[in-house]
Chain A
């Protein structure tokens, strides 16, 4: 069993495939805080820290979760993927990210990283999700600027593009 020592905590988290050593942390720090303030991955956002907005969404062992409702020290041994882990290393954008920008789904952008994570996860699991299924799947990601119209258009654009690619490849 992993026992994290008292007073100030030291532990290792695996994020985007790399190990990060967290030193001298407070017990009460949630995973979102640690990702941002200790590991320096600022992509996940802090719009509510109550699990009510999805702006902090990450994947934990492949499941979509709010990093603000996870005690950081309890996440040892889990595989965490943030929006940074879904961004290509070559400086370009993933197809989901590209669609968000191209379709006007980005206004202030605060909800965008959380939505990129949710949508990337959704389309990996259910590529043929209907509009209503998409709405339900992103119902945990609040957006105040867009009214979700262009966000849904972005998801549709990715679905169409991936379907077209799959056809080309003969799948």
Chain B
């Protein structure tokens, strides 16, 4: 495995190599500027007042006490929004400031700007809001039929998928009810931005986000400004994982800057961060799988309810995904799937790595294990038997045209050797319970579990998905400019690698990521940027190279076909001409901006049929866990994985995505959950929303990076960010089932789910 992970070397540094990331040095020194590190002369600090109630009518708001606090410069509320009072990714249904009603705990009501962050916070707390608290709607099964809590209604999205014969039956049927809790992205860099009012009446915003241009559109609408007066500049992003797709404080902050005429900065506390961004949709899923006596799937039926929380966010696409991927990466001749996202007074849910495919994978992989047990088949064998292949038809009727090495990822992963030894062979601190010293070796049982999952790459269902990039060659210097957001995944490295391959230069400069003067690169999500921005950068670099060569050929009166760029020089194939890039350019500046689009996709019809997706990626995981049978504590000892990657463009960065995504999946399996009590978040802190530490995160063995270049992908590569977070969770739970014999139909699995269930079984034993 180490051969895949070579230390970054300074060689050709093009595609396929573990090229060192360009922002690594400043990050390691603490010099890299994240959005929370920004500062400006004369800067004020902002703070938002948020609702403590999940559901209430606002009967009065008195901002005056905040204005009276020394050091406060401005206090704003709903009446101060000049443009559209609401925003949102799918529908603008979310108020900038609540004024008549609050629909979730944490909903912003007012904003304060002051000369010190503590003053801003204290002043916000001085604002007097009177509420008439109302009963929150939190039951997702009842929500669709309950009185609407928003004029747009309580059903955010519904997607049916009917495939084949709904009445088909199989020899064996298994049913199950599954639940997934509310996972949080829990990125390290808190939400933060700096807004600077401009002389032209506009505003410059320096921020962390996932998509500059979609923020720009929404902000401009709310500020009643033309987009060119709302200029967004990307600051350092401390992770995202979906939580920055929706806006956080962008509009409120801009309003404070415009009102005060001064730069204003807001940085969320961690508690505020937990309240201030969307989470993963909790899911309730009822499933029925039937198969023939050989284990071939005959039909999958599923009813899925997603808790969308108070506002729409991206519930449309999450629901669509859940429906499309509800049966897993298998050949399913018949299916009836219903997926609904409902509005509740729970915190809003939206994008999180895996985006609907995570929840259903937990359910369908549990179902596959149940089928295997019912048929007395090996769980890996039943998956191989049904594994999708290129040319198969999906639930949506779409023929899987691209690569589909599902069997390969299953075999690579399942075929990897299991760790030698067991819980008896590890030091005490490596047993479940860690430093708490609770484990008794005789009561620790090891289990092994397996799962495979998939999802789409890029946006779907008719969305006009594109990416813009620019290449500029000036005096031999290559600059790539893209507004695509780097969140840590290494997109900036890739952009340089692509340019190096085209020009053969060592140095590739990266321009600022900004909305000014360049079109959108689309969202950093849906595992799409390697493909989309990769394609745009490739196109822009090639366009510059082509024009350069044409220009040289014309000037030297030689056929264009004789020229190539290699090793940072312009040469004829016979070596008779050999120029530096600067000399070849002969004083001209070459700049090309390319908009890259993937092939168009179709919307799904009322039966969920249509060619809605561009491409798919598959991954498998095998988990080895040790379980303390009496305390229900789980130590994930090892994860093994294999992934369909198309082509590895940067081995070190691919490994980083796989290890990180796997760790998040492990967290979701055994420890991560936003705990809600009638709409109130009980654990908005790292004390009680626990993510894996270095003592919890298992070693990840990559058993296979399956490289079958994807037709249509600019470099043959598939995005790698999401698949690791999809099959990892069900693999861990399958392993716990193996160790304990318990059903376990919910994630995260809590100690009591194991310990108390086993204790009851122990008592019942004769």
Give which listed residue, A42, A136, A139, A145, contacts B660 with CB less than 8 A: A145
Give which listed residue, B237, B660, B694, contacts A138 with CB less than 8 A: B694
CB pair A101 B24 closer than 8 Å: yes
With contacts A53-B686, A108-B487, A136-B429 taken as known, whether A146 is within 8 angstroms of B29 at the C-beta atoms is no
CB pair B8 A104 closer than 8 Å: yes
Q: B140 at interface (Cβ–Cβ under 8 A)?
A: no
Q: B420 at interface (Cβ–Cβ under 8 A)?
A: no
List residues of B (220-251) whose CB comes within 8 Å of A's CBs: 236-239, 241
Question: Shortest beta-carbon distance, B529 to chain A, in Å?
Answer: 14
CB pair A132 B430 closer than 8 Å: yes
The answer for the CA separation of A28 and B122 in the assembled complex, in Å, is 12
CB pair A144 B660 closer than 8 Å: yes
Question: Shortest beta-carbon distance, A90 to chain B, in Å?
Answer: 12
> Which residue of chain A lies nearest to B486 when distances are taken between CB atoms in the complex?
A108
CB pair B693 A139 closer than 8 Å: yes
Given the complex, which residues of A lie within 8 Å of B489, measured CB to CB? 107
Mark each residue of chain A from 33 to 58: 1 if its CB lies under 8 Å from any CB of chain B, else 0.
00010000111111111101101000
The answer for the CA separation of A107 and B31 in the assembled complex, in Å, is 15
List residues of A (142-171) whose CB comes within 8 Å of B's CBs: 142-153, 157
List residues of A (77-116) whose CB comes within 8 Å of B's CBs: 82-84, 87, 93, 97-98, 100-104, 106-113, 116
Give which listed residue, A43, A48, A142, A146, contacts B659 with CB less than 8 A: A146
The interface on chain A, measured as residues whose beta carbon lies within 8 A of the other chain's beta carbons, has a size of 59
CB pair B29 A87 closer than 8 Å: yes
> Which residue of chain B lies nearest to A53 when distances are taken between CB atoms in the complex?
B686
Q: A135 at interface (Cβ–Cβ under 8 A)?
A: yes
CB pair B700 A112 closer than 8 Å: no
Question: Shortest beta-carbon distance, B279 to chain A, in Å?
Answer: 15
> Which residue of chain A lies nearest to B119 when distances are taken between CB atoms in the complex?
A26
Q: B663 at interface (Cβ–Cβ under 8 A)?
A: yes
CB pair A46 B190 closer than 8 Å: yes
List residues of B (649-696) whose CB comes within 8 Å of A's CBs: 652-653, 655-656, 659-664, 685-687, 691-695
Given the complex, which residues of B lie within 8 Å of A135, measured CB to CB? 694-695
CB pair A144 B241 closer than 8 Å: yes
Q: B560 at interface (Cβ–Cβ under 8 A)?
A: no
CB pair A110 B34 closer than 8 Å: yes
The answer for the CA separation of A52 and B273 in the assembled complex, in Å, is 15
> Which residue of chain B lies nearest to A108 when distances are taken between CB atoms in the complex?
B488
Question: Shortest beta-carbon distance, A128 to chain B, in Å?
Answer: 16
Q: B83 at interface (Cβ–Cβ under 8 A)?
A: no
List residues of B (28-46) whose CB comes within 8 Å of A's CBs: 28-34, 36-37
CB pair B270 A107 closer than 8 Å: no
The interface on chain B, measured as residues whose beta carbon lies within 8 A of the other chain's beta carbons, has a size of 64
Question: Shortest beta-carbon distance, B147 to chain A, in Å?
Answer: 39
With contacts A101-B8, A116-B28, A135-B695 taken as known, whether A110 is within 8 angstroms of B189 at the C-beta atoms is yes
Q: A141 at interface (Cβ–Cβ under 8 A)?
A: yes
> Which residue of chain A lies nearest to B36 when distances are taken between CB atoms in the complex?
A46
Question: Shortest beta-carbon distance, B572 to chain A, in Å?
Answer: 38
With contacts A144-B241, A150-B656 taken as known, whether A102 is within 8 angstroms of B20 at the C-beta atoms is yes
Q: B27 at interface (Cβ–Cβ under 8 A)?
A: yes
Give which listed residue, B7, B34, B270, B429, contacts A103 with CB less than 8 A: B7
CB pair A101 B30 closer than 8 Å: no
The answer for the CA separation of A102 and B653 in the assembled complex, in Å, is 11
The answer for the CA separation of A151 and B163 in the assembled complex, in Å, is 46
Give which listed residue, A36, A50, A110, A111, contacts B270 with CB less than 8 A: A50
CB pair A109 B693 closer than 8 Å: no
Given the complex, which residues of B lie within 8 Å of A111, measured CB to CB? 188
Given the complex, which residues of A lie within 8 Å of B685, measured CB to CB? 48, 50, 52
DSSP majority for the A interface?
A: loop
CB pair A109 B23 closer than 8 Å: yes
The answer for the CA separation of A136 and B685 in the assembled complex, in Å, is 21
Q: B186 at interface (Cβ–Cβ under 8 A)?
A: yes
CB pair A132 B427 closer than 8 Å: yes
CB pair A45 B29 closer than 8 Å: no
Give which listed residue, A36, A84, A106, A141, contacts B24 with CB less than 8 A: A106
Given the complex, which residues of B lie within 8 Å of A150, measured CB to CB? 5, 652, 655-656, 659
CB pair A106 B187 closer than 8 Å: no
Given the complex, which residues of A lie within 8 Å of B60, measured CB to CB? none
The answer for the CA separation of A110 and B270 in the assembled complex, in Å, is 14
The answer for the CA separation of A113 and B26 in the assembled complex, in Å, is 10
The answer for the CA separation of A132 and B37 in the assembled complex, in Å, is 33
The answer for the CA separation of A110 and B660 in the assembled complex, in Å, is 14
The answer for the CA separation of A28 and B119 in the assembled complex, in Å, is 11
With contacts A93-B28, A132-B427 taken as known, whether A148 is within 8 angstroms of B187 at the C-beta atoms is no
The answer for the CA separation of A151 and B238 in the assembled complex, in Å, is 17
The answer for the CA separation of A106 and B487 in the assembled complex, in Å, is 11
Give which listed residue, B28, B32, B435, B664, contacts A136 with CB less than 8 A: B435
CB pair B23 A151 closer than 8 Å: no
Given the complex, which residues of B lie within 8 Å of A84, measured CB to CB? 29-30
Question: Shortest beta-carbon distance, B703 to chain A, in Å?
Answer: 14
Given the complex, which residues of A lie within 8 Å of B59, measured CB to CB? none
The answer for the CA separation of A83 and B691 in the assembled complex, in Å, is 24
> Which residue of chain B lies nearest to A42 when distances are taken between CB atoms in the complex?
B37
CB pair B30 A82 closer than 8 Å: yes
Question: Shortest beta-carbon distance, B58 to chain A, in Å?
Answer: 30
Give which listed residue, A55, A97, A103, A157, contacts B188 with CB less than 8 A: A55
Question: Shortest beta-carbon distance, B684 to chain A, in Å?
Answer: 11
Given the complex, which residues of A lie within 8 Å of B487, measured CB to CB? 108
Mark each residue of chain A from 14 to 35: 1 if its CB lies under 8 Å from any CB of chain B, else 0.
0000000000001011000000
Given the complex, which residues of B lie within 8 Å of A153, measured CB to CB? 5
Q: B21 at interface (Cβ–Cβ under 8 A)?
A: yes
Given the complex, which residues of B lie within 8 Å of A100, measured CB to CB? 24, 28
Mark each residue of chain B from 175 to 199: 1 if its CB lies under 8 Å from any CB of chain A, else 0.
0000000000111111000000000
CB pair B239 A110 closer than 8 Å: yes
Given the complex, which residues of B lie within 8 Å of A52, measured CB to CB? 270, 685-687
The answer for the CA separation of A44 and B36 in the assembled complex, in Å, is 11
With contacts A135-B694, A142-B693 taken as known, whether A97 is within 8 angstroms of B656 at the C-beta atoms is no
Question: Shortest beta-carbon distance, B436 to chain A, in Å?
Answer: 13
CB pair A47 B189 closer than 8 Å: yes
CB pair B687 A50 closer than 8 Å: yes
Q: B267 at interface (Cβ–Cβ under 8 A)?
A: yes
CB pair A110 B429 closer than 8 Å: no
Give which listed residue, A28, A47, A109, contacts B27 with CB less than 8 A: A109
Q: B25 at interface (Cβ–Cβ under 8 A)?
A: yes
> Which residue of chain A lies nearest to B26 when distances are taken between CB atoms in the complex?
A109
Given the complex, which residues of B lie within 8 Å of A44, measured CB to CB? 30
> Which residue of chain B lies nearest to A41 when distances are taken between CB atoms in the complex?
B30
Give which listed residue, B28, B189, B692, contacts A108 with CB less than 8 A: B189
Give which listed residue, B270, B427, B664, B695, contacts A144 with CB less than 8 A: B664
> Which residue of chain B lies nearest to A118 when distances are taken between CB atoms in the complex?
B694
CB pair A108 B187 closer than 8 Å: yes
Given the complex, which residues of A lie within 8 Å of B391, measured CB to CB? none
CB pair A102 B686 closer than 8 Å: no
Given the complex, which residues of A lie within 8 Å of B29, measured CB to CB? 43, 83-84, 87, 93, 97, 113
Q: B697 at interface (Cβ–Cβ under 8 A)?
A: yes
Given the complex, which residues of A lie within 8 Å of B700, measured CB to CB? 147, 149
Mark each residue of chain B from 301 to 332: 1 if its CB lies under 8 Å from any CB of chain A, else 0.
00000000000000000000000000000000
The answer for the CA separation of A143 and B188 in the assembled complex, in Å, is 7
CB pair A157 B7 closer than 8 Å: yes
CB pair B118 A26 closer than 8 Å: yes
CB pair A109 B238 closer than 8 Å: yes
The answer for the CA separation of A136 and B693 in the assembled complex, in Å, is 9
CB<8 Å pairs between A and B, sample of 11:
A47-B189, A48-B685, A50-B685, A87-B30, A97-B29, A141-B694, A144-B186, A146-B659, A147-B664, A148-B663, A150-B659
Complex A-B, nearest 7 residue pairs according to Cβ-Cβ distance, in ascending order = A43-B30, A108-B488, A109-B27, A147-B663, A110-B238, A101-B24, A107-B488
Interface on A for B, CB 8 Å cutoff? Answer: 26, 28-29, 36, 41-50, 52-53, 55, 82-84, 87, 93, 97-98, 100-104, 106-113, 116, 132, 134-136, 138-153, 157
6 more CB-based (< 8 A) A-B contacts, given A113-B30, A116-B30:
A53-B270, A109-B34, A141-B694, A142-B188, A143-B188, A149-B697
